[in-house]
Amino acid sequence: MSQFQEKTEITRIERLTPDVFRITLESSEIASRARPGQFVMVRTGDGKDPLLRRPFSISQTSSGKYFQILFKVIGRGTSMLAHCREGEYLSILGPLGSGFTFDCKADNCLVGGGMGIAPLLFLGKSMLRNCTLKPPTIVLGARNKEELAPLIKDFKELGLSVYPATDDGSLGTHGLVTDILKGLDLAPTCKMSVCGPTPMMTAVHLFCKKKEISCQVSMETAMACGMGACLGCIVPLAKGGYAHACSDGPVFDAKELLWQVR
Ligand SMILES: Cc1cc2nc3c(=O)[nH]c(=O)nc-3n(C[C@H](O)[C@H](O)[C@H](O)COP(=O)(O)OP(=O)(O)OC[C@H]3O[C@@H](n4cnc5c(N)ncnc54)[C@H](O)[C@@H]3O)c2cc1C
Ligand code: FES
């Protein structure tokens, strides 16, 4: 798999909420090779602070030339990214990791929580392009309407069926994404693709296990190198031992992972 490290120009920055931003970058090398579920490692500053690159899912590509990342400001690196300006350059390494797989004959259901929604837009678009007869069902959750509404917009514009859930009931179902899944008439041949906080992915995995539905999850563990060279991103496996989320994943068959069930 080809990876590139290059200075990419920021062609657009959008502020979607007070702390969620979308950056469009120009790189035909990365955009033309990226697959849904892959990520990039971004150097967020010119100097040594922060020293390590930060991982972000590729949230969509366009014209084989541009790709976008969608991020929430949570610490030093993302705060620096939020202060970037159009026309500036960012050092990017990617595309990295395994992507989602999909079967156009199956009923596909994409389930995202919070910023885990980012890679699902790319996946949903790919499915729409390739699986014209069976568009995916989209189930998205977040804390409230302010956080979720801007993330849903892109899926709706594609004409996809979106089922929203919010913790406070301000948009869609008042509750969790699993509350929506329980009410959907999902075929046993359905294939679930999930990205979000670990408790949410654990709950979706348990739901799928009970219903014997296939489930793939994207693990957004903290990462240091992004290339399998350190142990910064290990995830425990059901059969024992560990996998690197960056190079063996970030997308795994949920059954292969060891889940902490309380
Ligand atoms: C494969 C992958 C894809 C990702 N895609 C996206 C994306 O599309 N959009 C997005 O907003 N974020 C995404 N993330 C998470 C993103 O990388 C972190 O939010 C970012 O690195 C934080 O950097 P920072 O310097 O701002 O915060 P830091 O100062 O590094 O961290 C601030 C706090 O957040 C915690 N933290 C850092 N990274 C994570 C993490 N991955 N999970 C949980 N807690 C963490 C730290 O322990 C610390 O407490 C992804 C992570 C991975 C591994
Ligand atoms: S982040 Fe270094 S091995 Fe995965």
CA 115 to ligand 1 center in whole angstroms: 10
Q: Both 77 and 154 in a single domain?
A: no
1-5 own/partner pairs: CB under 8 Å, 24+ apart:
1/95, 2/29, 2/33, 3/93, 3/94, 3/95, 3/96, 3/227, 4/29, 4/30, 4/92, 4/93, 4/94, 5/91, 5/92, 5/93
The closest residue, in CA terms, to atom 3 on ligand 2 is: 228
**CATH number, domain at 123?**
3.40.50.80
74 and 149 share one domain? no
Closest CA to 156 of 135, 176, 179: 135
Calculate how far, in angstroms, residue 169's C-alpha sits from the geometric centre of ligand 1.
26
Q: Which atom of ligand 1 is nearest to the CA of 59?
A: 8
Given a cut of 70, whether residue 1 has pLDDT beyond it is: no
User: How many structural domains is the chain composed of?
Assistant: 2
Per-residue model confidence (pLDDT) at position 193: 97
179 and 118 in a common domain? yes
Q: Is residue 247 part of a domain?
A: no
Residues 84 and 116 in one domain: no
Q: Does 136 lie in the same domain as 50?
A: no
Whether residues 129 and 213 share a domain: the answer is yes
Q: What is the pLDDT of residue 132?
A: 77
100, 113, 82: which is closest to 197 by C-alpha? 113
Q: Please determine, for residue 2, whether its predicted confidence score (pLDDT) is greater than 80.
A: no
Measured distance between the N- and C-terminal CA atoms of the chain, rounded to whole angstroms: 38
Phi, psi of 148 (to 5 degrees): -85, -40
Protein residue with its CA nearest to atom 6 in ligand 1: 56
pTM of the predicted model, to two decimals? Answer: 0.95
Query: Is ligand 1 within 6 A of the CB of residue 95?
Result: no
Q: Is residue 178 part of a domain?
A: yes
pLDDT tens sequence across 38-63: 999 999 987 777 888 999 999 999 99
Q: What is the DSSP letter of 175?
A: S
Give the pair of three-digit tokens for residue 217: 């999850």
**Residues of the domain holding 173:** 108-217
The verdict on residue 237 lying in a domain is no
Question: Of the candidates 64, 96, 128, which is a domain's last residue?
Answer: 96
C-alpha distances (whole Å) from 206 to each of 59, 113, 178, 213, 227 are 26, 16, 10, 10, 30
211/186 Cα distance (integer angstroms): 9
Whether a cis peptide bond, with omega within 30° of 0, leads into 250 is yes
Mean pLDDT (whole number) for 173-201: 94
80-101: average pLDDT: 95
Looking from the CA of residue 228, the nearest atom of ligand 2 is 3
Determine, yes or no, domain membership for 253: no
Task: Find out whether 163 and 138 touch, Cβ atoms under 8 Å.
Answer: yes
Q: Are residues 117 and 53 in the same domain?
A: no
> Within this chain, do residues 22 and 75 fall inside the same structural domain, yes or no?
yes
> Best of 219, 220, 221, 247 to mutate for ligand 1, by most ligand atoms within 8 A of CB?
220
Q: What is the mean pLDDT of residues 115-137?
A: 92
- The answer to the question of residue 224 being in a domain is no
Tens of pLDDT, residues 215-257: 999 999 999 999 999 989 999 999 999 999 999 999 999 999 9
> From the CA of 98, which ligand is nearest?
1
User: Which of 96, 125, 159 delimits the end of a domain?
Assistant: 96
Do 71 and 120 have their domain in common?
no
> Is residue 162 domain-resident?
yes
Task: Give percent of the chain above pLDDT 70.
Answer: 100
Whether 32 and 56 map to the same domain: the answer is: yes
Task: Tell me if 246 CB under 6 Å of ligand 2.
Answer: yes
CA gap 31, 261 in Å, rounded = 38
> Which residue among 186, 202, 217 closes a domain?
217
Which residue did the predictor score with more confidence, 131 or 138?
Answer: 138
If asked whether residues 46 and 113 sit together in one domain, one would say no
Asked if residue 27 is part of any domain, the answer here is yes
CATH number of the domain within which 58 lies: 2.40.30.10
Q: With CA atoms as reference, report the closest residue to 188 among 208, 159, 168, 174.
A: 208
